[in-house]
Amino acid sequence: MIGLYILFMGTIYVLIALSTAYWLSRIPERQKLKTWTQILTVLVFVLIPTWDVLLGRLYFNYLCETEGDIKIHNQAELPTEHWEDGVPRDRLERLPGRGFEILIGEKFIIESHTIKNYGEPFRIDKEHKVLNNRVTDEVLSEFIYFIYWGGWLINASGLHRSGVSCPSYRLISKLYSETFIKEN
């Protein structure tokens, strides 16, 4: 049903764009101006639903290049029993009424901070994960990444939307392996 609605609305939008381009092209007297009027009108109608996708993707890529990264401040020893396949193993622990926390071993915790709409108006969220020593409250490492949720048209359409993240969240294992050293 949503597909039919989108097809119907898309057809009406294209008809409005073409009729506007035709109507506006009748105003100038010279053929060259008529052609440019049509081109600019069609360009405006194409950019109305897509401008934020083009600029949003550019801004998202800029944020990824300039702010998204792993930062290792200090390394810590982690007992051998908390390693699995050469990578430190984490576990989720439920907090009463507050969701979950991610623990590594007995002393280390990952705190996660999300800033929704960090890249306003482009629907970009910023995720900042901080790996702390729970005993000393020392920050060992940080991981900053961004999630881009697409333009306004896809968000308003009711279709399933999925985000694109960078740098990849799979780098979390790199964060673990560069932060921790196996305890002897």
Which pLDDT belongs to residue 35?
Answer: 84
Which pLDDT belongs to residue 1?
Answer: 63
Which pLDDT belongs to residue 77?
Answer: 92
pLDDT digits (tens, 9 = 90+) for 116-154: 988 788 889 999 999 999 999 999 999 999 999 888 777
Which contiguous run of DSSP H or E holds residue 182? strand 180-182
Contacts of 25 (CB under 8 A, 6+ apart): 34, 35, 37, 38, 41
pTM value is 0.74
Contacts of 70 (CB under 8 A, 6+ apart): 141, 142, 143, 167, 171, 174, 175, 178
Separation of alpha carbons 36 and 51, rounded Å:
20
- Angle, vertex CA 172, rays to CA 169 and CA 176, nearest 5: 175
Which pLDDT belongs to residue 34?
Answer: 81
**Residue spans of beta strands (DSSP E) within 16-133:** 69-72, 76-78, 83-84, 87-88, 90-95, 99-104, 108-115, 124-133
Which pLDDT belongs to residue 60?
Answer: 93
Cβ neighbours, 10 Å, residue 66? 8
Which pLDDT belongs to residue 28?
Answer: 80
Dihedral pair phi/psi, residue 175, rounded to 5°: -60, -45
Separation of alpha carbons 126 and 10, rounded Å:
33
Phi-psi category of residue 97: left, alpha or beta, with phi > 0 → left and psi -120 to 50 → alpha: left
Residues of the chain short of pLDDT 70, as ranges, are: 1-2, 98, 155, 157-161
Cβ neighbours, 10 Å, residue 18? 14
Which pLDDT belongs to residue 158?
Answer: 63
Separation of alpha carbons 149 and 162, rounded Å:
6
